Amino acid sequence: MAPQIQILSSSDAATVSKTCSEYSLSEAEFKKLAQMAAAAKKDAYCPYSQFRVGACLLTADGEFVYGANVENASYPVGTCAERVALGKAVTNQQRKFRALAVATDISPPASPCGMCRQFIREFCDLSMPIIMFDVKQDYVVLRLEELLPLSFGPEQLPSPSHAAENASTRVHV
């Protein structure tokens, strides 16, 4: 049975305040995440689907990193906004994040795709909030662990030194 998802109003100050308190965000951070994710949509390159998506990450040191989706005529080659933002952050040596906002032009809000969920999982704590905004700036917020239950992450893999030890002790026939 699918969980009940509640769509919240970003114009309701009490609701935003409660969200911020629950997810350890200031109201200014919440507002900037919403604004930057929505603004990033203007940079989307989506001539095929016309489905604009913007994303904004809040880093542990208070920086905001945004991205937009980039499509390709060969559909599987496109890159979602969430992966663009994470890629920019990671290549700028950012590895710790506090929140991710995603904005679309539809209602209700859209959630990150499965590939993005796994990509987010690589770099973000399972308790990190993912805030999904719709065209009216109403939102749904879920922790990564709620979007990707029973996830597989880097900690499930052997350490590089352990993998190297195993490789050197293998018997080749």
User: Is 24 marked within a binding site?
Assistant: no
pLDDT at 172 over 60: no
Which of 104, 112, 126, 101 is CA-nearest to residue 20?
Answer: 101
Q: What is the pLDDT of residues 160-171, one digit of tens each?
A: 776 566 655 555
User: Is 72 marked within a binding site?
Assistant: yes
Q: pTM higher than 0.85 for the full model?
A: yes
What type of residue sits at position 45? Y
Q: Hey, what domains does the chain have and what are their CATH numbers?
A: 13-169 (3.40.140.10)
User: Is 10 marked within a binding site?
Assistant: no
User: Is 167 marked within a binding site?
Assistant: no
Answer whether 102's CB lies under 8 Å from 81's CB: yes
C-alpha 43 chain-centroid distance:
17
User: Is 73 marked within a binding site?
Assistant: yes
Q: Known catalytic residue: 82?
A: yes
89: DSSP letter: H
Q: What is the pLDDT of residues 44-90, one digit of tens each?
A: 999 999 999 999 999 999 999 999 999 999 988 999 999 999 999 99
Which of 91, 159, 86 is CA-nearest to residue 116?
Answer: 86
pLDDT for 4: 77
155: DSSP letter: G
Of the residues 82, 122, 146, 155, which is catalytic? 82
Range scoring the smallest mean pLDDT among 21-30, 60-69, 145-154: 145-154
d(CA 139, CA 70): 23
d(CA 70, CA 59): 22
Which of 34, 7, 4, 37 is CA-nearest to residue 140?
Answer: 7
CB atoms under 10 Å from CB of 112, counted, come to: 23
